[in-house]
């Protein structure tokens, strides 16, 4: 059964020390739980022992890149259903914020970032990472593409309000890489702390266009239009997953990270538009 847990006590202090804003925890639905984003209160103590599927029961906290928000809701629900007694709390934010939390000792069990460089920064604090999925960038515009943005070079138009992820964010790094490679100068009206914030700006009409992952645009296709970027001009994002060495649920965390490479998890990821690892 899905439980949503707030960040309190030692966890809250550690997160505050990063000076990064933690995005809300996302919950996975369950067959019997509320479907409106709320949760039922816990009726007992944390599960212990085995889930009956070979993985130890536990309450896991997984730090995950913001672009995984939607798909990990589905994946988490599927994992919990297959592993009774295990509940997962996801904390979604920009990879740079998640890495800062790990470095500050924020209690967590596993980490999934949107690039390998971010994961490498905390390699002393994690187990060996495994790439579980890949992604690519698209140009997100308002529905109907009213400004007729057809290619990357159109983003250089000074009349266009373009928003990008900040340079320290994986999506920002990928964006800078592809724009620099094409010698395109873009002066964004804002630089956001994660790719979901970029998408939100376009959805709300606060920006005319922005560079986001294909999966983000796909999840908001009723509000934005995705303009594809040719492979030769694009960048491929890799998503590594790893356990956190200080986890109090080491075996259960390892089981979840391993499951992310399983056929079941891979189908969920690829159905959401992610590419194979």
pLDDT digit string, tens, across residues 24-67: 333 343 333 333 333 333 333 333 455 555 567 789 999 999 99
Residue 93 lies in a domain: yes
Residue 172 structure tokens: 């920002």
Strands 87-93 and 59-65: parallel
Q: What is the pLDDT of residues 82-104, one digit of tens each?
A: 999 999 999 999 999 999 999 99
CA distances in angstroms from 116 to 67, 107, 132, 182, 239, listed in the order given: 15, 21, 11, 23, 7
Q: What is the pLDDT of residues 140-178, one digit of tens each?
A: 999 999 999 999 999 999 999 999 999 999 999 999 999
Do 248 and 202 share a structural domain? Answer: no
Are 111 and 122 contacting, i.e. CB atoms less than 8 angstroms apart? yes
Output the pLDDT for position 191: 97
Q: Is the pLDDT of residue 269 over 90?
A: yes
CA nearest neighbour of 272 among 111, 73, 65: 73
Residue 173 lies in a domain: yes
Domain range for 75 is 9-133+238-271
Do 13 and 119 share a structural domain? Answer: yes
Q: Can you tell me whether residue 205 is helix, strand or coil?
A: coil
Q: Is the pLDDT of residue 8 over 70?
A: no
Do 261 and 126 share a structural domain? Answer: yes
Mean pLDDT for the chain overall:
85
Strands 130-142 and 209-213: antiparallel
Q: Is the pLDDT of residue 121 over 50?
A: yes
Do 126 and 109 share a structural domain? Answer: yes
pLDDT band of residue 1 (cuts 50, 70, 90) is very low
Output the pLDDT for position 58: 87
Strand partners, 56: 50
Do 254 and 179 share a structural domain? Answer: no
Of the two residues 263 and 219, the one the predictor is more confident about is: 263
Q: What are the DSSP E strand ranges found in 27-98?
A: 59-65, 87-93
Question: What percent of the chain has pLDDT above 70?
Answer: 80
Q: What is the pLDDT of residues 200-248, one digit of tens each?
A: 999 999 999 999 999 999 999 899 999 999 999 999 999 999 999 999 9
Do 76 and 147 share a structural domain? Answer: no
Output the pLDDT for position 216: 94
Output the pLDDT for position 48: 41
Are 140 and 217 contacting, i.e. CB atoms less than 8 angstroms apart? yes
Domain containing residue 139: CATH number: 3.40.190.10
Output the pLDDT for position 54: 59
CA nearest neighbour of 86 among 30, 128, 34: 30
Q: What is the pLDDT of residues 182-204, one digit of tens each?
A: 999 999 999 999 999 999 999 99
């Amino acid at each position: 059964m899905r439980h949503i847990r707030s960040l309190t006590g030692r966890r809250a202090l550690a997160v505050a020390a990063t000076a990064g804003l933690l995005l809300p925890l996302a919950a996975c639905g369950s067959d019997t739980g509320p479907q409106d984003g709320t949760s039922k209160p816990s009726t007992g103590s944390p599960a212990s022992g085995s889930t009956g599927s070979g993985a130890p029961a536990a309450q896991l906290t997984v730090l995950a890149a913001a672009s995984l928000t939607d798909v990990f809701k589905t994946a988490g629900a599927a994992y919990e259903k297959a592993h009774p007694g295990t509940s997962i709390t996801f904390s979604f934010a920009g990879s740079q914020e998640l890495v800062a939390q790990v470095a500050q000792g924020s209690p967590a069990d596993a980490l999934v970032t949107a690039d390998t460089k971010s994961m490498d920064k905390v390699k002393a604090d994690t187990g060996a990472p495994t790439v579980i999925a890949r992604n690519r960038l698209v140009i997100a515009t308002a529905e109907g593409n009213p400004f007729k943005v057809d290619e990357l070079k159109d983003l250089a138009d000074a009349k266009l309000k373009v928003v990008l992820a900040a340079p320290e964010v994986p999506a920002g790094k990928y964006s800078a890489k592809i724009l620099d490679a094409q010698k395109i100068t873009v002066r964004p009206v804002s630089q956001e702390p994660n790719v979901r914030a970029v998408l939100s700006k376009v959805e709300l009409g606060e920006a005319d266009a922005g560079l986001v992952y294909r999966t983000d645009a796909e999840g908001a296709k009723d509000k934005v239009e995705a303009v594809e970027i040719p492979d030769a001009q694009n960048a491929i994002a890799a998503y590594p997953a790893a356990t956190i060495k200080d986890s109090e649920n080491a075996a259960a965390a390892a089981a979840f990270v391993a499951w992310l490479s399983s056929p079941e998890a891979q189908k969920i990821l690829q159905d959401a538009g992610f590419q194979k690892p």
